Every structure is written in C-alpha cells, then in structure tokens.
Amino acid sequence: MMPPTCCRCSRGVESGDPCELIRFARSSADHQWYVERESGRSETDHPPDMDWFCSEHEATAFAHQHLTRKEAIESIKNRERWFLIDLDLFDRGTPPAVRESGVGFESAFSTYFDHAVSTINDDGDPLWTQYRISLGGDVADMAVNGEGVFEIQRTGKLMLEIKKRLASKVDGVGFSDLISKRFALETRKHGVGSALHLVDEISDHLRIALSDERFLALFRMV
C-alpha cells in the first residue's frame, strides 16, 4: 500500500495531516489486477482503483467516484484549477493579484467563502479588500466579470447571512461543507454562470424571511 499522502497536494505522512483512501470505478485493467491478486500473481500491493486524499481534497474525490481513478485525477487536475484573486480597493492603483490557488471546486468555494466573509464587518458594511475566484481555467481570469469568475455581491443580504452562519461554533463547519459542495456541484454540472444564477435565486428567497430549515434546504444537493 502506498503511504497516506494526498495525491493532489503534499499533505500527508510528513505534514501530519490525515488522509483517506478513496475508491473509484474499476477499469478492466483494475479488474485484472484484482483477479491476479486473488491468484497471488500480482506484484504490486496498492489497489489501482484507489488513492489517498487529504481533507481539503476528499470531497472533490468523492464527487468523481463514478470515474476510474485515472480519469478522476485527470479531470480534477485539468478542469478544476482555481485562483483566488484579491483586490485592494483602498489603493485603486494596485492591480488584482492571485492570493491562493489549488485544485478541486469544493476547496475553491470553501477558500472563497472563508475570505469573502472577511471583507464585510458584522453589520454587513464592506471593508477595503474584495475577493473573487477564477474557476476552471489554466490561468487566473483577471477580467472584470470574466467568464469563469465567481463572486457574491458583498453588500447583499446573502453574504451577511453566510458570514453569520460560518461564524457559528455549533454548525459553522457543517454549513461551510454544505455551501461548498452545493456550488461545486452546480459549477461542475453547468458552469460558473449557473453557480452565479444560484446566487441570484437564493438572494431572491432571502427577500422573504425564511425559516432556518427552508434556508438550508436551498443549499442541499439536487
């Protein structure tokens, strides 16, 4: 068995981060490997349909389990790159800059929400830094309203609602997972435009007072 180090980043044995072994669909070569192992003829002991993922990348891996391991890794690597862009609004002469980058849409959205809620105070007033995230391209899309760029309007009710919920000690982590997975799923299925449309839809619902349960239901998997 390979040592438990994430196949998408360097977290694992050396950094002390726990990783999980995740199984993918079996290719015919994978089936053959299991047949050979049963008969004792296999030379390797790491199952070819499985790989290690850290906590930041496991949700993305789970979303690709219907593919073979090779297809899943290729797809995550080639289609799910992301760049977190920050804009300094205090000094308008400073060009937008890439603050962080990575792979996997779930980690993209959890990183984005983490940063985005820090750009408003507890009353929802905007501060001097703003974030947006460029999804899916090989390089960061710095264009205003670029095609693969996701951003929630900071002064709207939705961002304040997200900020409050993420700050909850009781279920902040659960809410972070919920919205990250929901927006990742939407982007993977129909593109960034569809994720932005979802933002509009949720914002519309927020105009009427919603019960906790109905608000959370807006983010549940479809």
Tell me the closest approach of the beta carbon of residue 18 to Zn ion, in angstroms.
11
Cβ atoms of 202 and 160 within 8 Å: the answer is no
Task: Please say which residue, 33 or 53, places its beta carbon nearer to Zn ion.
Answer: 53
Tokens 């391209």, located at residue: 137
Tell me 140's DSSP state: -
Contact flag: residue 9 with Zn ion (CB under 5 A): yes
**Cβ at position 8, least distance to Zn ion in Å:** 5
Binding Zn ion by CB under 5 A: which of 6, 103, 116, 135? 6
Residue number of the CB closest to Zn ion reads 6
Question: In terms of Cα–Cα distance, which of 169, 53, 51, 28 is closest to 103?
Answer: 53
22 makes contact with Zn ion (CB under 5 A): no
Q: Does residue 183 sit in helix, strand or coil? A: helix
Cα–Cα distances in Å, from 101 out to 79, 83, 98, 109, 141?
14, 4, 7, 12, 12
Q: Is 179 in the site for Zn ion (CB under 5 A)?
A: no
For Zn ion, which stretch binds (CB under 5 A), given 8-16, 109-117, 135-143, 151-159? 8-16
Residue (of 6, 152, 17) closest to 76 by Cα position = 6
Q: Are 26 and 19 in contact (CB under 8 A)?
A: no
Distance of closest approach, residue 96 Cβ to Zn ion, in angstroms: 26
The nearest distance, CB 169 to Zn ion, in angstroms, is 26
Q: How many residues bind Zn ion (CB under 5 A)?
A: 6
Can you list the alpha helix ranges (DSSP code H) found in 39-166?
58-62, 69-79, 105-116, 157-166
- Per-residue x/- mask for Zn ion, residues 52 to 91, rule CB under 5 A? --x--x----------------------------------
Least separation in angstroms between residue 118's CB and Zn ion is 23
Binding site for Zn ion (CB under 5 A): 6, 8-9, 11, 54, 57
